[in-house]
């Protein structure tokens, strides 16, 4: 057939799929995925293939001129991914902070994509907008802040923090910022956070035009929390030098060690100094749902803004982050510009929420659905159980390491444990132990039997396990310890 033959009277194209074709393809795909989920524990956590091998496997084929049947494509692609992926849903995956995705979330994404609401504007997503609003309210309830906070779902922690950061600048900088830019304000500014703050702060400093030198990276104390004494000192010094303090950032669940900054004290400093108080709770904030851990999060309800990642400890499939702001008008002041061609408000008489006014995105997908559905599927009580079990499993790993003659348990906070391998015999230099443990981490990650990442805890190279995984059990932890020690012995023996 002539590929350029147009059919304007009756559109005939494979892209549409008939309802029957869609049904058949969908059933087959779900069948294959169900099998994959069932087989997960008995498969490697990740592939051993190098990027070069993967590229060869994929094949260097050009953009196809003509089409291929969808069933063939789905079958091939499912196999390609099933055999060559890292599975963060595997019971022995503890790397970074990437959770086991709730299977209902995967189905929710299918539903969301099929309806395909554009959750930028209420008129384009009537029910989806309501669902996102409800989800945000529930997230507030979940972490224990008043649901007068408002916000927006974003792609993840970086965007959640950035979205709040720019709202803080709009709120705290002189009004000419929006029209005339930072230079016209004629002042120098400073932002405060712990040295251990996630790298999003570098992006924010750079892209905001404040510059990285405007960020005061405050030292941490022996427990890895921001040193509030040093923070007070830095603020005083800046004020003496005519530099205007803008905001302070606390982390609730540090990426490396899971530690939560002293939020109550940060809140008090921010109140006294009239600073915007932001909390990066991308990972740790859901633990505030547990009565036994609530004390760690005291002061959180005084935050001007909070970042939280449902794709971490709420087990949503990637991507789902969320910015919560005490007074959501700050988001609108920052992100809404009401250009002429936006007439959404005119369509409905009552005031509608148009999420394009709350963040960077204009067209927006329906991220809220997977979060909303899973919150209902297991409820708050279901989450309390999972989060507490994750914490207990991380603690169990810490205890196992602590009792083992060849392991050193370095830290445990929330569901993150850091540890390292220590060979027997003469005392080894810190330098040797750091190198050895780095080699163990690299080898472990390439073997794909278990997956841990690493952390630098005050100069000590550690292996790091973060449990945000509803499939993990005690037995997995015991096997991780055996595996680690054996690998340590092997690598140490080969080196000496």
Ligand X SMILES: *Cc1c(COP(=O)(O)O)cnc(C)c1O
Taking the least distance from each CB to ligand X, the nearer of 182 and 296 is 296
DSSP letter string, 197-217: --THHHHHHHHHTS-GGGEEE
Q: Are 25 and 74 in contact (CB under 8 A)?
A: yes
Which structure tokens are listed for 150? 């408002």
Taking the least distance from each CB to ligand X, the nearer of 157 and 299 is 157
Q: How far is the CB of 207 from ligand X (least distance, A)?
A: 15
Q: How far is the CB of 278 from ligand X (least distance, A)?
A: 11
Q: Write out the binding residues for ligand X, residues 264-283 only, by CB under 6 A.
A: 280, 282-283
Taking the least distance from each CB to ligand X, the nearer of 283 and 315 is 283
Please select the residue that binds ligand X; options are 125, 129, 251, 413, rule is CB under 6 A: 251
Listed in sequence order, the residues at least 6 apart from 143 whose beta carbon sits closer than 8 Å to its beta carbon are 281, 285, 286, 288, 289, 297, 300, 306, 308
* Contact pattern for ligand X over residues 292 through 331, marking x by CB under 6 A: -----------------x-----------x----------
- Is 255 a residue that touches ligand X (CB under 6 A)? yes
Q: How far is the CB of 367 from ligand X (least distance, A)?
A: 12
Q: Are 136 and 145 in contact (CB under 8 A)?
A: no
Longest dimension (CA), the chain: 84
Taking the least distance from each CB to ligand X, the nearer of 307 and 481 is 307
Position of minimal CB gap to ligand X: 157
Cis peptide before 319 (omega within 30 of 0): yes
Listed in sequence order, the residues at least 6 apart from 367 whose beta carbon sits closer than 8 Å to its beta carbon are 112, 119, 132, 153, 154, 155, 319, 320
- Is 97 a residue that touches ligand X (CB under 6 A)? yes
Q: Write out the binding residues for ligand X, residues 179-218 only, by CB under 6 A.
A: 198, 200
Q: How many CB atoms lie within 10 A of CB 437?
A: 23
Taking the least distance from each CB to ligand X, the nearer of 157 and 488 is 157
Q: How far is the CB of 199 from ligand X (least distance, A)?
A: 8
Please select the residue that binds ligand X; options are 157, 258, 286, 365, rule is CB under 6 A: 157
Rounded CA separation 98/433 (Å) = 27
Residues contacting ligand X: total by CB under 6 A:
14
Q: 164-195: b or e for each residue (b if 16 or more CB lie within 10 Å)?
A: bbbbbbbbbbeeebeeeebeeeeeebbbbbbe
Stretch that binds ligand X, among 75-83, 250-258, 262-270, 390-398 (CB under 6 A): 250-258
- Is 136 a residue that touches ligand X (CB under 6 A)? no
Torsion sign over Cα 22, 88, 311, 215: negative
The whole-angstrom distance between residue 130's C-alpha and the CA centroid of its chain comes to 24
- Is 261 a residue that touches ligand X (CB under 6 A)? no
Taking the least distance from each CB to ligand X, the nearer of 131 and 204 is 204
Residues that bind ligand X (CB under 6 A): 97, 156-158, 198, 200, 251, 253, 255, 280, 282-283, 309, 321
């Amino acid at each position: 057939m002539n590929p350029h033959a147009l059919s304007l009277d009756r559109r005939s194209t494979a892209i549409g799929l008939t309802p029957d074709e869609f049904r058949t393809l969908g059933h087959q795909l779900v069948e294959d995925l169900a099998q994959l989920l069932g087989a997960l524990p008995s498969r490697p956590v990740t592939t051993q293939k190098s990027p070069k091998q993967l590229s060869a496997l994929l094949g260097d084929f050009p953009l196809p001129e003509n089409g291929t049947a969808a069933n063939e494509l789905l079958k091939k692609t499912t196999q390609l991914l099933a055999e060559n992926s890292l599975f963060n849903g595997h019971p022995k995956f503890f790397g970074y902070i990437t959770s086991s995705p709730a299977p209902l979330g995967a189905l929710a994404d299918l539903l969301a994509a099929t309806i395909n609401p554009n959750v930028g504007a209420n008129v384009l997503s009537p029910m989806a907008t309501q669902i996102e609003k409800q989800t945000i309210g529930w997230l507030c309830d979940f972490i224990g802040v008043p649901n007068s906070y408002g916000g927006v779902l974003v792609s993840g922690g970086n965007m959640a923090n950035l979205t709040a950061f720019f709202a803080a600048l709009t709120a705290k900088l002189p009004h000419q910022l929006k029209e005339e830019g930072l230079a016209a304000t004629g002042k120098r500014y400073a932002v405060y956070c712990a040295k251990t703050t996630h790298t999003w702060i570098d992006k924010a400093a750079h892209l905001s035009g404040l510059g990285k030198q405007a960020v005061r990276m405050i030292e941490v104390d022996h427990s890895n929390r921001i040193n509030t004494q040093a923070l007070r000192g830095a603020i005083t010094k800046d004020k003496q030098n005519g530099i205007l303090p803008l905001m302070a950032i606390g982390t609730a669940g540090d990426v490396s060690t899971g530690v939560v900054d002293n939020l109550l004290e940060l809140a008090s400093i921010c109140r006294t100094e009239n600073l915007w108080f932001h909390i990066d709770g991308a990972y740790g904030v859901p633990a505030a749902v547990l009565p036994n851990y609530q004390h760690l999060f005291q002061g959180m309800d005084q935050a001007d803004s909070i970042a939280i990642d449902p794709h971490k400890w709420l087990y949503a499939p990637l991507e789902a982050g969320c910015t919560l702001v005490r007074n959501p008008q700050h988001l609108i002041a920052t992100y809404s510009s009401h250009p002429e061609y936006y007439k959404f408000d005119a369509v409905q008489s009552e005031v509608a929420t148009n999420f394009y006014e709350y963040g960077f995105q204009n067209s927006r997908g329906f991220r809220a659905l997977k979060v909303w559905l899973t919150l209902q599927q297991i409820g708050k009580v279901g989450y309390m159980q999972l989060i507490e079990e994750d914490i207990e499993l991380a603690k169990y790993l810490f205890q196992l390491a602590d009792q083992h003659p060849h392991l050193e348990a370095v830290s445990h906070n929330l569901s993150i444990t850091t540890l390292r391998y220590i060979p027997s015999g003469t005392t080894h230099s810190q330098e040797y132990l750091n190198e050895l443990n780095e080699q163990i981490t690299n080898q472990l990650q390439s073997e794909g039997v278990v997956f841990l990442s690493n952390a630098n805890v005050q100069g000590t190279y550690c292996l790091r396990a973060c449990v945000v995984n509803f499939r993990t059990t005690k037995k997995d932890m015991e096997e991780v310890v055996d595996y680690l020690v054996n690998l340590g012995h092997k690598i140490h023996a080969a080196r000496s």
